[in-house]
């Protein structure tokens, strides 16, 4: 990412660029549990580590040359922070795309999401393997009160409904339906953009693409459309683009553009930036 390979890059591409070698990917989907391993499998496994040092050294040189080591430190700071991986069951509802503002619906969705999070952690498996988002949405909307009604829902597997989890789902639904007002989730209100703001957002999109092309970075790593809307609305919006290296290459200029300190013009096939103050 920070070395100009977009939002993702395969190891084989890095090996080809920096080590001048090609990795045979033919054994990627072979059965690695069978023994003995074939010579081709062993060669494939070796290729995954043989070129690591060359790739690492080349990337370090590129980071030093581009003076982007602090970009990497910033990103690794998030990845190595234990808080990044803390999953609080009572906050799990925030992952859902809630379809209603009805208080009972919100309460039930919160309790079901919390139950799913605890169960996924206990069983060490993905949330969707415990209960899919669609099932939580349907359960919160229908609020079945019996195993029979639970089993009739389209998004809830019959085996799940009629198994040990069925009663736990009903208990979560009951608890959510009588949740105290102060404990009801309060989803963020949908942002309504003022009339006349759309042209500014369009200009910010052009600026984002221009700056990212110049810095060889994928735009979606710097800011989303939602981030641009929030910047257009508020100079102090809490978005990644107004912090750290993202502010360096885009955020500061976005604010300058917004306040007339920066202009853009077309010159031939390129967009050029002009400081007005």
* φ, ψ dihedrals at 189, nearest 5°: -65, 145
Q: What is the CA radius of gyration of the chain?
A: 25
For residues 2-22, give the mean pLDDT. 84
pLDDT in tens, 192-243: 889 889 999 999 999 999 999 999 999 999 999 999 999 999 999 999 999 9
pLDDT in tens, 242-256: 999 999 999 999 999
* Rounded Cα–Cα distance for residues 275 and 201 (Å): 19
Task: Give pTM, 2 decimals.
Answer: 0.76
What residue segments make up the domains of the chain, in order of their start? 11-83, 89-183, 198-275
Kindly write down the DSSP assignment for every residue of 86-145, as one continuous string. Answer: ---GGGGGGGS------HHHHHHHHHHHHHHHHHHHHHTS-HHHH--HHHHHHHHHH---
Evaluate whether the domain defined by 89-183 bears CATH number 3.40.50.2000: no
Architecture per CATH, domain 198-275, reads as Orthogonal Bundle (1.10)
Mean pLDDT of the chain: 93
Dig out the tokens for 235 from the structure.
């100079």
* Rounded Cα–Cα distance for residues 254 and 63 (Å): 25
- How would you classify residue 4: left for phi > 0, otherwise alpha for psi between -120 and 50, otherwise beta? left
Domain pair 89-183 / 198-275, same fold: yes
pLDDT band at 191 (very low <50, low <70, confident <90, very high): confident
Long-range contacts of 210-219 (CB under 8 A, 24+ apart): 210/264, 210/271, 210/273, 211/249, 211/250, 211/253, 212/249, 212/250, 215/4, 215/249, 216/4, 217/1, 217/2, 217/4, 217/6, 217/249, 218/1, 218/6, 218/7
């Amino acid at each position: 990412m920070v070395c100009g390979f977009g939002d993702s890059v395969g190891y084989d591409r890095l090996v080809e660029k920096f080590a001048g070698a090609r990795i045979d990917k033919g054994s990627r989907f072979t059965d690695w549990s069978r023994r003995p391993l074939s010579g081709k499998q062993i060669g494939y496994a070796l290729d995954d580590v043989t070129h690591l040092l060359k790739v690492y050294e080349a990337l370090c040189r590129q980071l030093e040359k581009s003076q982007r080591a602090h970009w990497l430190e910033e990103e690794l700071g998030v990845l190595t922070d234990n808080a990044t991986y803390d999953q609080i069951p009572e906050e799990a509802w925030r992952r859902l795309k809630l379809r209603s503002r009805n208080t009972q619906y919100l309460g039930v969705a919160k309790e079901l999401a919390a139950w799913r999070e605890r169960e996924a952690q206990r069983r060490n498996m993905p949330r969707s393997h415990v209960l899919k988002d669609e099932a939580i949405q349907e359960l919160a909307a229908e609020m079945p009160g019996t195993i029979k009604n639970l089993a009739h829902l389209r998004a809830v597997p019959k085996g799940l409904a009629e198994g040990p989890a069925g009663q736990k789902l009903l208990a979560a639904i009951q608890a959510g339906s009588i949740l105290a007002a102060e404990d009801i989730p309060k989803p963020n209100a949908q942002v309504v953009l003022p009339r006349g703001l759309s042209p500014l957002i369009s200009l910010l999109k052009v600026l984002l693409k221009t700056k990212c092309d110049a810095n060889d970075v994928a735009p979606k790593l710097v800011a989303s459309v939602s981030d641009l809307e929030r910047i257009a609305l508020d100079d102090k919006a809490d978005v990644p683009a107004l912090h750290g290296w993202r502010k360096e290459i885009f955020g500061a200029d976005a604010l300058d553009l917004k306040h007339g300190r920066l202009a853009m013009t077309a010159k031939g096939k390129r967009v050029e930036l002009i400081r007005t103050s």
